[in-house]
Chains A and B, each alone.
Chain A
Amino acid sequence: MVGMFFTYFALVSIAAGVLTVTLRHPVHCALSLLVLLMHVSGLFILLNAEFLWAVQVIVYVGAILVLYLFVLMLMNLKTDERYFHPSALYILGPAVLGAGYVLYLLLRSPFGGAKGDTPATAVLQEGDTYAVGITMFSDHLLQFEIVGIFLLGAIIGAIVLAKAPKPLDTERERL
């Protein structure tokens, strides 16, 4: 059952990723990115990370993707004929080769390692939100604060960048 769900989420997210890269119209690309994000959140559910599932749906789909769609609608882009970069064919071959090699390496490696302190049974007992919260506000508090400062800087930077430039000298010339 879990394998079936995993296959579904994996295949649909890969297909949606390929469609995001290859579709012609930017709004269609944004909508297939939506499909990709929702299915990646399904993969998070399979990994017992339901808090990350909620964050993915709320922040990625609810905020970031809506921002993309707003900008796309705002600019009213027309789709041009040659939408790929001129040297796309030269990139494609090495990329497929490299992807195949990386997949070969990944599928034959055992991925052992030292286990941490939060087994799946503890996560299932207390809930993922509890575990994430305890870890975030004890071990990762400094990173949390840094992300807060970063988001403040990003907000200020976006406002400063996107503000309409003031016509500087019109008042002075009129006087």
Chain B
Amino acid sequence: MIPLSAYTAVSAVLFMTGILGVLVRRNFIIVLMSVEIMMNAANINLVAFSHYLESMAGQLVALFIIAIAAGEAAVGLAIIIVVFRGKISTNVDEMNLLKW
């Protein structure tokens, strides 16, 4: 029997990896991929707690997170396409159009 803390540890490591990716990488698409990693870490946590605390609510919330990830990917990639069409660059630190 695997303890619950093993699942939470895996999820924490994945979440930290995602945060590092968001902070460190310069390519906008890879920043979005790191957000997907973070959502997967949250999903592992929710499903593990749902299994060990014997309630289905965690799996439901994980399903909704997957749906929200789909919407976020669609809108984020549309934004990337718009930016790329204008500036031919997907680096995060070169996108400063809205900064003042």
B interface residue count range (under 10 / 10 to 19 / 20 to 34 / 35 or more): 35 or more
Residues in B whose Cβ lies below 8 Å from that of A134? 56
Q: A6 vs B10: C-alpha distance in the bound complex, in angstroms?
A: 10
Interface of B is mostly: helix
Residue A17 CB within 8 A of the other chain: yes
CB proximity of A12 to chain B, nearest CB, Å: 11
**Which one, A2, A37, A47, contacts B48 given CB within 8 A?**
A47
Residues in A whose Cβ lies below 8 Å from that of B16? 95, 98-99, 102
- CB distance B68 to A135 under 8 Å? no
Residues in B whose Cβ lies below 8 Å from that of A108? 5
15 A-B pairs within 8 Å (CB atoms) are namely A3-B2, A13-B10, A14-B14, A21-B17, A21-B21, A49-B47, A49-B51, A60-B66, A71-B81, A77-B27, A83-B27, A85-B26, A95-B19, A150-B68, A158-B75
- Residues of A at the B interface (CB closer than 8 Å) are 2-3, 6, 10, 13-14, 17-18, 20-21, 26, 29-30, 33, 36-37, 40, 43-44, 46-49, 51-52, 55-56, 59-60, 63-64, 67-68, 71-72, 74-75, 77, 80, 82-86, 88, 91-92, 95, 98-99, 102-103, 106-109, 111, 113-120, 123, 128, 131-132, 134-136, 139-140, 143, 147, 150-151, 153-155, 157-159, 161-162
